[in-house]
């Protein structure tokens, strides 16, 4: 994404579609839970993942490091009453 401003509209659309496929299981769960603003939540979750992933990669971290970096912020997207 470092060169995202140079991507074509077609390439950007493919990226958006791939992200949609990746978060679909989470989006389906949120719909079943009756959460509101699911598309906005999915964008936020993807953004957090991307930030955590970059941080872990740049610093030589692991998948757990990525998750640890974004867990506190994920609380904004999942209410405490959602089933586990």
Q: What is the mean pLDDT of residues 71-75?
A: 86
Give the global pTM. Answer: 0.69
Q: Does residue 4 register a pLDDT over 90?
A: no
What is the distance between the alpha carbons of residues 22 and 28, in angstroms, rounded to a whole number? 11
Is residue 71's pLDDT more than 80?
A: yes
Nearest Cα to Cα of residue 74 among 36, 42, 27, 35: 42
Per-residue pLDDT of 44-65, as tens digits, reads: 988 888 888 887 778 888 888 8
Enter the tokens of residue 71.
């867990």
The tally of CA atoms less than 13 A away on the side-chain side of residue 26 is 18
Closest by CA position to 41, among listed 82, 81, 76: 76
**What is the rounded CA–CA span in Å between residue 77 and residue 45?**
7
């Amino acid at each position: 994404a470092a060169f995202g401003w140079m991507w074509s509209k077609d390439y950007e659309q493919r990226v958006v579609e791939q992200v949609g496929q990746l978060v679909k299981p989470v989006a389906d769960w949120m719909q079943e839970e009756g959460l509101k603003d699911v598309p906005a939540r999915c964008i936020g979750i993807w953004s957090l993942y991307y930030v955590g992933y970059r941080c872990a990669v740049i610093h030589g971290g692991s998948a757990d490091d990525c998750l640890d970096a974004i867990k506190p912020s994920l609380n904004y997207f999942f209410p405490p009453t959602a089933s586990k």
